[in-house]
Amino acid sequence: MSKLKTSELQYLENYRVLFANLEEIKDLKTELADYGYDDTKIAEGKALFDDTQQLYDQNKQETAEEKEAYARFSDAFSHLKKTYGKHRKIAKVALMKKTELWKTLAIDGSLSAAYVKAMQEIKTFYEQAQNHSDAKPLLEKFKINQAVVDAQVAQIQQVETLRAKYEKEKGENQNATQQKNKAFADLSDWIKEFYAVAQVALDDRPQLMESIGKFVRS
């Protein structure tokens, strides 16, 4: 991913230099105008470049926001699982003589690796911890009381809120990536056509051709 981003950044710099030289070198403008690349045509390409630069920057920002949202979600989920893991161990001791309740509290196996299933198992545990008439008093003896359960329920809600925020940012980043990729493709098409014409227009002016480089994106 980092190599791709660096490549895109380099292409943008190459294109920036290209359009800067097209603006500054008068001989270039004169030679190219005879082949259809007058100020209006060049402005079309510059507009594509400006749009691509803007969408690249926007995509970069959206990527950062997605990473930040995931980090916040991941930290909250890890904290929830860590505390829940301790409560699972305590519950198995508290219910040692009532192992038939383990399944009811969803502690008869290991915590699922998948997020949705894991959250359902965690929710089931705390729901039963505060509502099951047999389990509740036994758990309270080991300090898994209403206050502890309420704190974990609040943490569950926080995790779900942060997960939703992460999914939102992920979707926005995917959309920004698609828009950026399309902009790069449109700009690349313009650049390729431009250079095909420029090679003909500047065939006897190699120094001018050199001044705009050969920045065709593969």
Q: CB 92: neighbour CB atoms within 10 A?
A: 14
Maximum Cα–Cα distance for the chain, whole Å?
94
Kindly report, residue by residue over 26-47, the tens digit of the pLDDT: 999 999 999 999 999 999 999 9
> With bands split at pLDDT 50, 70 and 90, how would you rate the model's confidence at 214?
low
Annotate 38-59 with DSSP letters as a single string: -HHHHHHHHHHHHHHHHHHHHH
- pLDDT > 70 fraction of the chain, expressed in percent and rounded: 95
| Residue 46 phi, psi (nearest 5) | -65, -35
